[in-house]
């Protein structure tokens, strides 16, 4: 298996409703990634595109072919990945496999979405299609409801009083907005307080508005190459050291592990085993904080804190820069934004920038190794990617 490097990354500004189409947004991100890589579109061998809802947002299927054409790479194989919120992460994983296996030498992977363009009612309805449409959605389940359920299960299983858990969740959001305010590409660039979170309206007890990520329009792209080519293109290649992906069924079939997400534990083990690394080796992580409780749960399943203890660690500042494991210093899904099909690629974008030391006043000093964690649906897909400095 060949070593695979990220040699260029690109990302649009994340925001609410944009006038650009999903194809135009991806073209913007891809153009930046291609330019940064010192290649030309004709050098690309394939496109791996994460996109979840362009059918509903824009009435546009087959988006991957139009993206390939728009970036100047018409004719290359182009495939679309729909893995709910983990769409782009799955696309990058498969792109990695194709280069590692020697089938392609230079590929582009990423994602694009115009989720905000749909408006809240349609976006909520279409997001919920990533849960079990027969047994869950028909019972009134939407994702705020899923994570509210996980909050109560977490509180009961680990003996954390719900009021204390709500405060810990609020700190997650406060931390995300603190870093989002320092990220020019983030959707929300304003700090908030614990009181702001606790006074926001209740969405699904105990999930409040400021515990929830927004609907977002945006795109991100990465260029992957073999090590031999990467060494010729950039003095700062960032290598993919390990990848993992796992799946799960509906909430009922996951009942014995909840609130832990079993697919996350399986995917994380794959990425740790492939890289030969463990939680202690990770300098910074971008994880899937679609709701603030998701951060608390993920940190434990990924091995950074004991089960039932990550909330205490957040209270102590252990997830901020200077702490044990800096989390979502991009602003995460909560403040940076969550354009579903692009989120996994945006996480990789941030980790690459951190490893290169290009993040200004939210830079994790000395970051050499980073991890991404991207969840699709209610645990139906989970992808982890570990990246490492290559110079």
Residues taking part in catalysis: 85, 338
Is the peptide bond preceding residue 206 cis, with omega within 30 degrees of 0?
Answer: yes
Q: Could you give the CA distance from residue 49 to residue 73 in angstroms, rounded to a whole number? A: 13
Residues 209/203, Cβ–Cβ less than 8 Å? yes
Strand partners, 113: 218
Q: What is the CA radius of gyration of the chain?
A: 19
Q: Could you give the CA distance from residue 47 to residue 176 in angstroms, rounded to a whole number? A: 31
- C-alpha 32: how far from its chain's center? 20
Q: Which residue, chain included where needed, has tokens 């994790």? A: 364
| Residues with Cβ within 8 Å of residue 258, at least 6 apart in sequence | 150, 153, 251
Alpha helices in 234-370 (DSSP H): 262-275, 292-301, 310-315, 332-335, 343-356
Please state whether beta strands 78-81 and 238-247 pair in parallel, antiparallel, or not at all (unpaired): unpaired
Q: Could you give the CA distance from residue 181 to residue 192 in angstroms, rounded to a whole number? A: 10
Strand partners, 111: 50, 220
């Amino acid at each position: 298996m060949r070593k695979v490097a990220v040699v260029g990354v690109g990302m649009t500004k994340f925001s609410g409703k944009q006038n650009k189409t999903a194809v135009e947004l991806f073209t913007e991100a891809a153009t930046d990634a291609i330019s940064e890589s010192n290649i030309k579109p004709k050098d690309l061998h394939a496109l791996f595109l994460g996109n979840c809802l362009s059918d509903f947002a824009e009435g546009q299927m087959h988006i991957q072919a139009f993206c390939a054409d728009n970036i100047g790479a018409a004719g290359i194989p182009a495939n679309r990945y729909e893995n709910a919120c983990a769409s782009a992460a799955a696309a990058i994983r498969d792109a990695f496999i194709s280069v590692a296996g020697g089938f392609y030498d230079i590929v582009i992977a990423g994602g694009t979405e115009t989720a905000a363009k749909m408006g809240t009612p349609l976006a909520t309805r279409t997001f919920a299609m990533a849960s079990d449409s027969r047994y869950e959605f028909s019972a009134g389940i939407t994702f705020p409801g899923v994570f509210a359920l996980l909050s109560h299960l977490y509180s009961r299983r680990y003996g954390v009083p719900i009021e204390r858990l709500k405060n810990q969740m609020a700190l997650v959001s406060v931390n995300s907005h603190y870093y989002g305010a320092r990220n020019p590409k983030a959707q929300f660039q304003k700090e908030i307080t614990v009181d702001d979170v606790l006074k926001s309206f209740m969405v699904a007890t105990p999930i409040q508005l400021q515990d929830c990520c927004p609907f977002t329009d945006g795109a991100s792209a990465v260029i992957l190459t073999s090590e031999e080519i990467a060494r010729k293109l950039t003095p700062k290649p960032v290598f993919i050291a390990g990848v993992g992906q796992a799946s799960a069924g509906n909430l009922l079939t996951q009942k014995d592990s909840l609130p832990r997400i079993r697919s996350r534990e399986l995917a994380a083990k794959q990425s740790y085993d492939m890289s030969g690394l463990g939680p202690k080796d990770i300098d910074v992580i971008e994880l899937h904080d679609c709701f603030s409780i998701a951060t608390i749960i993920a940190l434990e399943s990924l091995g950074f804190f004991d089960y039932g203890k990550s909330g205490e660690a957040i209270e102590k500042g252990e997830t901020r820069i200077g702490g044990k494991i800096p989390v979502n210093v991009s602003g995460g899904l909560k403040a940076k934004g969550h354009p579903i099909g692009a989120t996994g690629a945006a996480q990789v974008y941030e980790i690459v920038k951190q490893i290169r030391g290009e993040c200004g006043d939210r830079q994790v000093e000395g970051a050499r190794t980073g991890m991404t964690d991207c969840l699709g649906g209610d645990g139906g897909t989970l992808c982890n990617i570990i990246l490492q400095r290559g110079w």
